[in-house]
Amino acid sequence: MPAPVQPLRLLPDLLVVERGGADDGVAGDWVALVRAPDGLTVVRRARDGEAPAEPWRAFHGEAAHDLDLPGMLLAVIRPLSEAGLPVFVTSTFDADLVLVPADRIEVAARLLEDAGHEIRR
């Protein structure tokens, strides 16, 4: 079965991935919050003038799909992984948010387009 292709929107913001504290009110411009047994992870927009040590950019899956549809996330991260690009992924009920290092976003976009995905900027 061929890998599913999907429309992906390249989000314009520079993002930061960081650990949150147990008592964080997590105010601010967050994009995703994930609480797991080992703590809170915060994905947020970089603040004006902030120069994050590890800035990220993100692709957002624009086509909602059933949770039981196999291979949707794999179809996006496989071409990135095979090219040696690191990824950070978080998901919602409807779609995935796939982050790559900001300085490699154009390489990632080309790899995803070559794999058949439509990139909307």
Structure tokens at 82: 């095979």
Reported pTM: 0.88
Provide φ and ψ at 81, rounded to 5°.
-65, -45
Q: What is the pLDDT of residue 23?
A: 54
**Measured CA angle at 112 (ends 79, 7), to 5 deg:** 130
Could you give the CA distance from residue 38 to residue 53 in angstroms, rounded to a whole number? 23
Which has the closest alpha carbon to 105: 30, 11, 42, 1?
Answer: 11
Please write the tens of the pLDDT for every residue from 61-103: 887 767 777 788 999 999 999 999 999 999 888 889 999 999 9
Structure tokens at 29: 């411009």
Domain boundaries, the chain: 7-120
Q: pLDDT confidence of 21, banded at 50, 70, 90?
A: low
Give every CB contact of residue 38 below 8 A, 6+ residues apart in sequence.
Answer: none
Q: What is the pLDDT of residue 26?
A: 63
Fold type of domain 7-120: VC0802-like (3.30.2130)
Which has the closest alpha carbon to 38: 54, 24, 19?
Answer: 19
